[in-house]
Amino acid sequence: DGVRGAQTRVAQGSSGARRFFVPFQVSLSLVLVVVAALLGSTVVHLRTDDSGYRTKDVYFYNTDLNRIPQKGAALLPLYRRMIARMNSMPGIISASVAEVPPLFDMGDGGRFVAADAGPKAQAVGTFANAVGTGFFETVGTPFVTGRDLRNDETDADSCILNQAAAARFFPKQNAMGQMLRQVPNEFGDPGQTQHVCQVVGIVKDSKYFTLVQEKAPIVYLPISARTGPRLSSLFLVMHARSEAAAEAAQRRVIDEVASTAPLSDTVRFTDVYNDSIARQQLLSALSGF
């Protein structure tokens, strides 16, 4: 009888444990299913949401012109020659240059304010990027109005805004033709001076650092002497018919214009795009598994 009683108690204990763990396992499984579904839908949304760019057949190449004799502003004619030369090659649809390519999770900001906002107006920290002529055509960001930057010094005091920046700095008026003042950063180079540029174009909104980030105000400035130290390592941006054509073009222009510069690999925009949401994709896969 004592043995049977002990067995009965063990059986009752096992039954109680099952009554606890089975619902717990079901609940945990449901939670994981919901999390996996949410993460999966997030990845799908990020992939289908309009980033503001063309990714297919777009390539980036990071120059390294530190070893050539030209320095500072003397590099500007070289970059212009590179762009013109690449645009003449049969395998290149369009080419440009940029301080920072899209979705590289890197970049600079600036402090800007409408030039006619008055002395009490506070400058607003805003993403900024220096680009060459043809940049928007190359990465597939359409113009809403206005024109592109020119490939010469006549546009040194021009700038282009995306829609979000136009709405931020000129909420009650047409931003085209307005003057925007760039204010030196509070903790930046003490030699910085204020710079005023005229808005010559407005482009569609796009992501800046990553796909996860919301579309933010961006001010596009022309590549110039104010681009500073990064002039020696700008990115060539190419929309090419093939990766081989992009690779051949960048190697040819580097050899022709800066033969002593070291070579590096061409980066596919599709890889940058996928890397931008790699964390979300991994979490989605792990949760699904």
Per-residue pLDDT at 36 exceeds 90 = no
Q: pTM score, two decimals?
A: 0.80
Give Cα separations from 212 to 45, 99, 117, 209, 272 (angstroms): 10, 21, 33, 8, 13
Structure tokens at 13: 């204990």
> Between β-strands 58-62 and 267-268, what pairing exists: parallel, antiparallel or unpaired?
antiparallel
Q: What is the spatial distance between Cα 121 and Cα 183, in angstroms, rounded to a whole number?
A: 12
DSSP state at residue 88: T
Per-residue pLDDT, 190: 47
Residue ranges in 104-239 assigned as alpha helix (H): 135-139, 163-169
Per-residue pLDDT, 42: 44
pLDDT band of residue 45 (cuts 50, 70, 90) is very low
Query: How many residues does the structure list for the chain?
Result: 289
**Stretch 202-215: mean pLDDT:** 88
pLDDT band of residue 21 (cuts 50, 70, 90) is low
pLDDT band of residue 277 (cuts 50, 70, 90) is low
**Stretch 60-85: mean pLDDT:** 94
DSSP state at residue 268: E
Per-residue pLDDT at 137 exceeds 50 = yes
| Residues of the chain above pLDDT 70, percent | 76
Among 102-116, 136-150, 162-176, 221-235, the minimum mean pLDDT is found in 102-116
Give buried/exposed letters for 228-261 (b at 16+ CB in 10 A, else e): eeebbebbbbbbbeeeebbbbbbeebbeebbeeb
* Helices 2-48 & 278-288 angle (0-180, nearest 10): 150
Beta carbons within 8 Å of 46's beta carbon, 6+ residues apart: 211, 212, 277, 280
Cα–Cα nearest to 144, from 114, 165, 125 = 165
**Stretch 200-226: mean pLDDT:** 90
Structure tokens at 103: 């979705």
Among 9-13, 70-74, 242-246, the minimum mean pLDDT is found in 9-13
